[in-house]
Amino acid sequence: MNEKKIIVALDNNNILKTLELVEEIKNEVNSFKIGYEFFFNFGIEGYNQIKKISSNIFLDLKLHDIPNTVEKGIKAISKLKPKFTTIHISGGDEMMRASLLKKKKTKILGVSVLTSLNDKETNKYYNEKSVESLVKKFALEAKKFNLDGIVCSPKEVKYIRKVCGKNFIIVTPGIRLNSVKLKDDQKRTLSPREAIKLGSDYLVIGRPITKAKNPLKTIKEINSYLK
């Protein structure tokens, strides 16, 4: 059976509706992403309520601090046994080293560049001419320091797959659900199938699924489209 490719983002402030949703679609997803909004609202108790229904969780807390603090943070997160968690690659070499636990079950993904950052700000804060060039640099550093993979936009996926190889996880957020039924040669938005073809392992989709009238039907349609 082929592994599911969709990670569903659960960020919201209604725990009961979230639990109902997870129960409804758990067999059609790769994992459920828990980020700041959910975790700061419901904490470890809410996390464990989700985990009782589905053990596959992407705990997306984007750690970014001095190496010792990040190491302790990762050790605490590892007790929750998420499938994936994240750190900022921009935290530097020692921080990345500190995030790696021996015999860990949780995959450590490096956050490259936030999608809110533009080329002007990339040049201002990182002295790089573009977001794309910075993401490429970060990807190579993440690979060098043995992170399990990277979170990046669709624009850089093809390059990252080429230089980082097959055994490097690429998670792509920002996929537009309204492009699900577009043909692959239509470039108005990136379709889920196209992102997978470029080299993404998993796609993060949130509100287009969680706010759909029929979330189960919606995600089944996406999975069918990706086959």
- Active-site residue set: 62
Interior/surface letters 162-188, b for 16+ CB within 10 angstroms, e for the rest? eebeeebbbbbbbbebebbebeeeeee
* CA pair distance 96, 147, nearest whole angstrom: 7
In this structure, are residues 66 and 32 in contact, taking their beta carbons and an 8 Å threshold? no
User: Strand pairing partners for 84?
Assistant: 58, 107
Contacts of residue 178, Cβ cutoff 8 Å, sequence gap at least 6: 189, 208
Rg, the chain, Cα only:
17
In this structure, are residues 205 and 185 in contact, taking their beta carbons and an 8 Å threshold? no
